[in-house]
Every structure is written in C-alpha cells, then in structure tokens.
Chains A and B, each alone.
Chain A
Amino acid sequence: GQQVMQIPQYQHVQEGEDFTTYCNSSTTLSNIQWYKQRPGGHPVFLIQLVKSGEVKKQKRLTFQFGEAKKNSSLHITATQTTDVGTYFCAGRRGFGNEKLTFGTGTRLTIIP
C-alpha cells in the first residue's frame, strides 16, 4: 500500500534557527497537504499543494512539492516558540480518491 515517510521524527532547535521537515511518498501523489498539531490538540490544516514543483509561502513557512510529485518539504525560517508542535504531511493518490495517507510526523521543540 501507499506509504508516506517523514524525516526527521524529532527536531530540537534554538529559537531563531530554521527548521525543515521532509516528506517522501512511495507512490506519485495527486496533491499533498500539511497539518500542524499542537501538544494535546488536534491537527489543523495549513496548506495544500497540487502542481508539480509548486512552492507556496505563508509568512515564515515555505512549502514545496517535488517535480515528480512524490516528495514535499516544509521550511520554517527563524523559528518562534509558537511554532512548537508536530507537523504532518498527508498525501492523496488520485483525484476522486478521498483517502489521505498521513506521514509519521516531525515533532518540533523550540529551545528559548
């Protein structure tokens, strides 16, 4: 079946440093979504990428979708304590296929 792997599993950074998490799928995806989950909370949708090579920015967050549509990354510039949480990618195999496969997540801890 489809597998979506994320690395690293954990990341501890000093406040102000950059952070990147990578997502790799075993199959080509129609689109990929990114979610953030605060400790004790529920996943919250951040963004969806659809086009090959697409890059989207949300303030300090930059999201990329690979040319082959099998990998993606989330980069946070100058982390802040509010960025603490677990970041998940989730891929969909085909349009009309509503099943989302989530990555294992990257837990980000900020050292003040």
Chain B
Amino acid sequence: NAGVTQTPKFQVLKTGQSMTLQCAQDMNHEYMSWYRQDPGMGLRLIHYSVGAGITDQGEVPNGYNVSRSTTEDFPLRLLSAAPSQTSVYFCASKGGSSVDTQYFGPGTRLTVL
C-alpha cells in the first residue's frame, strides 16, 4: 500500500492563479480531509468528506473547493490564489469507524507570491 499520496510536493503560484492539489489513498478509506498548517497555528481543517459524493466545510473553507467523485481521490482546488494561502497542505484519510487511525500524506508546500 502506498497509503496517502499528495502531488505536487512543492508549488509556487502567482496571486490570482488557480491550481489543484491532488490527494489519493489506496486503503479504501471512507473519510478524507484537507488541512493547512501555518507556523504557531497547528493544523486547521479546510474541507472533509465522509464518502464519495459527500463533502463538507471545515474551519477555514474560504478560497478552496473540493469534490469526491471516487473513494480514492480528494482533490483540493484553489480558485484564485492569494498570499494568505501560502502554507503547507496535508491530506488525511481514515476508515469509517470513529476509532480508526487517521493517516496523513507527506504534504504540499505552497507559496503564493
């Protein structure tokens, strides 16, 4: 199993550009989520999904879109990048039980100029 994979590892964007961060898992997990990590602020939940076709907002959803067309993939779209979106983005997945372990991907380091 590859676990949770994320691409790209690094990305530099100009203000106003759009892009999609990719996330995939091969563990047949129902639950997937996106977090951003900023210095001194821990991880903040952006969007999450409890299954294919179902998504919901987290703590900081503005400026981001998600979709979940398959169990395996959960892409995160930045519609019009802003410098405030400079951060490290982590995707995570876990099984359907509340006691299941949550697995994180390696992260994408995004810089918006």
Contacts and interface: CB of A to CB of B under 8 A. Distances in A.
B44 A48 contact: no
Interface stretch (B16-24, B68-76, B79-87, B97-105): B97-105
Nearest to A96: B98
B105 A42 contact: yes
Nearest to B57: A99
B104 A104 contact: no
B42 A98 contact: no
Nearest to A86: B42
Nearest to B50: A98
A43 B99 contact: no
Interface extent on B, as a size class? 20 to 34
Contacts of B58: 99
A88 B41 CA distance: 11
Contacts of B42: 6, 88, 102-105
B104 A99 contact: no
A99 B48 contact: yes
Given A45-B103, A99-B58, A104-B40, 12 more contacts: A9-B40, A31-B98, A31-B99, A42-B104, A42-B107, A43-B43, A45-B101, A98-B31, A98-B33, A98-B48, A99-B45, A104-B41
27 contacts: A6-B42, A9-B40, A30-B98, A31-B99, A42-B90, A42-B105, A42-B106, A43-B43, A44-B104, A45-B103, A48-B101, A50-B99, A88-B42, A88-B43, A92-B98, A98-B31, A98-B33, A98-B50, A99-B45, A100-B33, A100-B102, A102-B35, A102-B42, A102-B43, A104-B41, A104-B42, A105-B42
10 nearest interchain CB pairs? A102-B43, A102-B42, A42-B104, A104-B42, A45-B101, A43-B104, A105-B42, A95-B98, A42-B107, A42-B106
